[in-house]
């Protein structure tokens, strides 16, 4: 699938710092340890609606991972999927009496525009579920052959399910106990009560064709893939086992990431699927998580457009989302955006001066804070401190504004 346009990333003088990130599986902040090429998979959208601020915050967090690795001299092999066939997409298309393919194409195009506007570096491989169907069915057939997947006891629709407890590593990503898993499985698209399954937690691998639903012919019979195996296969076939970072929002910890890992681990007999599982917090509005079901979404395209919200500078949006730590659930309010807009104006104004206070230490502090589990609140304070000092007019370093501009661009992705 076509990805989106990259922006240039300037080189920043000084000494890069290796990136440390919180890993959900080991429940600690650990150094990432990529080889020459760092590898990352971040779960993509299901394109039935526009990009909201919760999505943007998640992709922005992993954009910083990407940028920190580039700063450390790594190439980055970044893979992202698009779940361009799944129940929510089909339900929305049916509700709106539109073609699900057209809906997916339209929303994916808008997502690309939003990502470009926010200056999020594109993945190298941007892969749709539909285009990956042949590789997914091949893996499901192998899982059946090895006895870890089975057909539901259902003569009409013998869907394929995965035995959730097939490996000894199940649960090691989320660290959740079984009651928590059962609750989250039911809440997040699972089908615990589906008759014919061997265990309520077993996830769907292949859904046999129902009347009126899209399906693909395969050795499994006509049908379509489940969501977890989609990501598992797309990541595995491009990055291999033990890639550096598996990313997404914290609502993907279970069942999605647990089962994506479990499928690949059952298939290969190797562990772990990813060396870090990294999860971004949720963005809330009026005290509730931003979500489709609550109808409280704030769309990126609406904010940056000329509509009633009035054309917000995407860099202010980016700065606003970076003002909180990526792992904390946080509230979106008009004040957050207003503060970021004023901050952006102050930064830009300071950089119009021909000289400023030396910026080498500021750049070093930026690197220190960002490499420490992406501590953006402290990183922004470091820039604020330089800007305040520049405002006194006493700085004489003619190279400083250019150095800071390059560092803020390369490391924070903000064009000043």
Q: Where does this chain bind Zn ion (CB under 5 A)? A: 43, 231
Q: Indicate the angle between helix axes 314-322 and 53-71, nearest 10 degrees.
A: 80
Which of 335, 313, 311, 309 minimizes the C-alpha distance to 324?
Answer: 335
Q: Identify which of residues 247 and 314 has a Cβ nearer to Zn ion in the complex.
A: 247
Under 8 Å CB-to-CB from 77, ≥6 apart: which residues? 37, 38, 39, 40, 124, 125, 238, 239
Q: Token pair of 50, please?
A: 């526009």
- Provide, rounded to whole angstroms, the least separation between the CB of residue 194 and Zn ion: 21
Note whether 135 and 233 are within 8 A (CB). Answer: yes
Q: Identify which of residues 187 and 219 has a Cβ nearer to Zn ion in the complex.
A: 187
Q: Identify which of residues 122 and 248 has a Cβ nearer to Zn ion in the complex.
A: 248
- Provide, rounded to whole angstroms, the least separation between the CB of residue 3 and Zn ion: 17
Residue found by looking up tokens 């370093």 in the block: 397
Residue found by looking up tokens 């080991």 in the block: 26
Which of 356, 359, 353, 350 minimizes the C-alpha distance to 382?
Answer: 359
Note whether 53 and 332 are within 8 A (CB). Answer: yes
Q: Identify which of residues 119 and 257 has a Cβ nearer to Zn ion in the complex.
A: 257
- Provide, rounded to whole angstroms, the least separation between the CB of residue 292 and Zn ion: 17
- Provide, rounded to whole angstroms, the least separation between the CB of residue 229 and Zn ion: 10
Q: Identify which of residues 43 and 390 has a Cβ nearer to Zn ion in the complex.
A: 43
- Provide, rounded to whole angstroms, the least separation between the CB of residue 36 and Zn ion: 26
Q: Where are the alpha helices (DSSP H) in 219-281?
A: 227-239, 258-268
Q: Identify which of residues 163 and 258 has a Cβ nearer to Zn ion in the complex.
A: 258
- Provide, rounded to whole angstroms, the least separation between the CB of residue 97 and Zn ion: 29
Q: Which residues pair with 28 in a beta bridge?
A: 23
């Amino acid at each position: 699938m076509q990805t989106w346009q990259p922006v240039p990333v300037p080189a920043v003088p000084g000494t890069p710092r290796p990136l440390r990130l919180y890993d959900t599986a080991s429940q600690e902040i650990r150094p990432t340890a990529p080889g020459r090429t760092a590898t990352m998979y971040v779960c993509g959208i299901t394109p039935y609606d526009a990009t909201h601020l919760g999505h943007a915050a998640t992709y922005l967090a992993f954009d910083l991972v990407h940028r920190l690795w580039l700063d450390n001299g790594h190439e980055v092999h970044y893979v992202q999927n698009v779940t361009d066939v799944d129940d929510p997409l089909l339900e929305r298309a049916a509700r709106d009496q539109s073609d699900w393919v057209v809906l997916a194409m339209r929303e994916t195009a808008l997502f690309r525009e939003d990502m470009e506007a926010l200056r999020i570096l594109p993945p190298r491989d941007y892969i749709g579920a539909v285009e990956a169907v042949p590789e997914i069915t091949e893996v499901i057939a192998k899982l059946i052959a090895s006895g870890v997947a089975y057909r539901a006891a259902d003569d009409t629709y013998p869907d394929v399910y995965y035995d959730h407890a097939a490996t000894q590593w199940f649960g090691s990503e989320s660290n959740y106990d079984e009651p928590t898993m059962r609750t989250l499985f039911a809440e997040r698209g699972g089908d615990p009560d589906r008759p014919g399954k061997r265990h309520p937690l077993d996830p769907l691998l292949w859904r046999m064709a129902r009347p009126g639903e899209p399906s693909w012919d395969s050795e499994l019979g006509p049908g379509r893939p489940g969501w977890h195996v989609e990501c598992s296969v797309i990541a595995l076939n491009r990055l291999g086992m033990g890639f550096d970072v598996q990313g997404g929002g914290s609502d993907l910890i279970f069942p999605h990431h647990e089962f994506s890992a479990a499928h690949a681990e059952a298939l290969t007999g190797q562990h772990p699927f990813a060396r870090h599982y990294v999860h971004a917090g949720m963005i809330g509005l009026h005290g509730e998580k931003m979500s489709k079901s609550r109808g409280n979404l704030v769309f990126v395209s609406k904010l940056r457009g000329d509509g009633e919200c009035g054309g917000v500078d995407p860099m202010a949006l980016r700065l606003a989302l970076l003002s909180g730590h990526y792992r904390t659930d946080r509230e979106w309010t008009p004040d957050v955006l207003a503060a970021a807009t004023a901050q952006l104006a102050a930064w830009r104004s300071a950089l119009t001066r021909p000289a400023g206070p030396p910026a080498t230490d500021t750049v070093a502090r930026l690197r220190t804070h960002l490499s420490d589990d992406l501590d953006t609140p402290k990183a922004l304070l470091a820039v604020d401190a330089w800007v305040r000092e520049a405002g006194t007019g006493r700085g004489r370093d003619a190279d400083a504004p250019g150095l800071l501009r390059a560092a803020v661009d390369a490391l924070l992705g903000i064009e000043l």
